[in-house]
Each structure stands twice: as structure tokens, then as C-alpha cells.
Amino acid sequence: MTLLIDIGNSRTKYILANVISSNESMVVNNHCINFNWLDDHFKSVEKIIISCVSSNTILKVISEWAKNTQIELKIIESEAKRYGVVSIYQQPKKLGVDRWLSMIGALSLHPDKNILIVDAGTATTIDLLSAGGQHHGGWILPGINLMIDSLLANTSKIEANRKENPSLTFGDNTNANVNNACWAATLGAINLAITQARKELDSIDVILLTGGNARYIAPILEDEIIIEDNLILYGLQRYNLN
């Protein structure tokens, strides 16, 4: 059995390569991952394919455990070209592996389509991929929580708490002002990205939304979108196929 692991900034997602689907994957907080936890969950697997965008601490733990248990480990890095996707970066390894795998996953799910990919997690990343697999670049901006945390950390008289339910209305108190503005900034960036993508490629066939905030953003976007929770895992799965 091959296990796919996506180490994020705060959580890790994983699934067996042969049972991946849009709605199935397991999630664990990064601080929970240690040798005992790995023994309890993964000792029967034969191979692990892994990506990591957080600190190397978790990756090191899993790498040492895999070596000790004689499980094959393949660590994915961004490349110039693979599986039909061509990176726009002059230094391809500088592209975040999460963005790289999202594009590979997107192309495998929606071949021959112009795709705009929005990953709304700790950071919000936006990438444009043409039907031929050419990456046309993207944007990176702080995620919702990072925006709020940054504002609160760098101002002395603004007090607010995070709200899970997004709103774009003008707030009548500071808490609403802060939260609604951060959602508005994110939605504004996504809508502008959609407009810009259509200028560059004439048309966008698919808008893919992934990441922890996807389910909150989707209802307030005017364009038709597809939520794909396991986009990075689909990219990892492609590396398992050949």
C-alpha cells in the first residue's frame, strides 16, 4: 500500500493512494505526529509519498521513522515540468510544492481546461493554468486568520475576535469591521484574479477552490466554482501512478 501525506502549516492530511476521492482524507494536527503515532497508524504501508510546506521538523520525524521501519519514502519537490504541467518559475524549486501539486492535481482532474486554482488556507494562493498545462503565474496573500492576526499584533487599540461566518457587510463595531474587511479583501483578490485570468486566457473553464476556508468562501463568490478538498493529494497520487 502507498500512503500519500501532505504536511501543511498547521495540519497534515493523508490517505491511501488507491482510495483517494474528493471527500475522503484524514487530518491530524502537526504537533500530534511522533514515532508512536506513526507506529499506530502507518506500520502496514509499503511506501510513502510526501510533500511538506511547513517546517522540516515533521518531515524529519516521518523520514527517520520510515528509515527505521524500512518503508520507502519519496519526498516531492517542485519541478520545471512533470505530468503535463510546465512551471513558469525560472527557478522551479522556488515554487511552493503545495502550489505545484495543486496544478498537477487540477490538470489530472480537468484535462484540457483553463483552470484558476485558489487555495484558501494559512496563506491564500492563486494560480492560473492553461489547457496545455502551462503555468501562467499567480498570487500569494495572507490567509484570513493571518490578516486578522497581523492587524491585531501591529495596532494598539484595535480589538477583535475571529468569526467563522464570513460577511461582506459594513460592520457596526470594531470586531465586525476587522473580520468583514479581511473577508472582503480576500474575496476582492479572488474576483480580481478571475477577471485578470479571463484577460490572459480569454476564458476560464474551471475555478477550483481548496483549503480550509474554501467552504466559507464558496457561498459568497458569484462565479461557479468547484470545491476540491484533496487537490494536493491528487497531485501526490499522480506521482504514484508512474
Per-residue pLDDT tens for 25-48?
899 999 999 999 999 999 889 999
98 is catalytic: yes
Q: Give the CATH number of domain 2-75.
A: 3.30.420.40
Domain boundary assignment for the chain: 2-75, 81-237
Q: Is the pTM of this model over 0.85?
A: yes
Are domains 2-75 and 81-237 of this chain identical in fold? yes
Contacts of the segment 76-82: beta carbons below 8 A, 24+ positions apart: 76/49, 76/50, 76/51, 76/100, 76/101, 76/236, 76/239
* Candidates 6, 98, 119, 127; catalytic one: 98
Q: Which residues pair with 55 in a beta bridge?
A: none
Q: Give the CATH number of domain 81-237.
A: 3.30.420.40
What mean pLDDT is predicted for residues 3-10? 91
Determine the Cα angle at 23 with ends 222 and 103, to 5°.
65
For residue 32, the model assigns a pLDDT of 94
Matching residue, cell 488556507: 121
Q: What is the pLDDT of residues 195-208, one digit of tens each?
A: 999 999 999 999 99
Q: What is the pLDDT of residues 131-170, one digit of tens each?
A: 999 999 999 999 999 999 888 888 877 777 777 678 899 9
